């Protein structure tokens, strides 16, 4: 089993592996929509933009969501430029 979280039984681990990609995809979609429609939230708060970039680089790359990462980074670059 590729992912076995401490404290989870076998069934819970299997369910986590099944639904984790779906959850990750939904988080990426929410971020994409937020960036596309409400980027001013990040323009006004540079610390929040830094945290978002850190989240993207640390978490999304770790979970092999590179295509989604590229889209989100492009949205950020378009808005900042």
CB neighbours of residue 1 within 10 Å: 7
Q: What residues have CB less than 8 Å from 53, skipping those under 6 apart? A: 76
- When mean pLDDT is compared over 3-12, 27-36, 69-78, the highest value belongs to 27-36
**Residue 47, pLDDT score:** 93
Does the pTM surpass 0.85? The reply is no
Are 52 and 43 in contact by the 8 Å Cβ rule? The answer is no
Whether residue 72 has pLDDT greater than 50: yes
Give pLDDT tens digits for 10-61.
Answer: 777 777 777 777 787 888 889 889 888 888 888 888 899 899 888 888 776 6
Q: Which residue has the tokens 């409400």?
A: 38
């Amino acid at each position: 089993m590729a992912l076995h979280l401490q404290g989870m039984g076998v069934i819970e681990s299997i369910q986590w592996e099944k639904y984790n990609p779906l959850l990750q995809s939904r988080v990426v979609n929410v971020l994409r929509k937020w960036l596309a429609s409400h980027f001013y939230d990040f323009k006004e708060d540079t610390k929040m933009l830094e945290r978002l970039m850190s989240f993207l680089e640390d978490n999304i790359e770790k979970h092999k969501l590179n295509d989604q990462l590229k889209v989100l980074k492009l949205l950020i670059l378009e808005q900042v430029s």
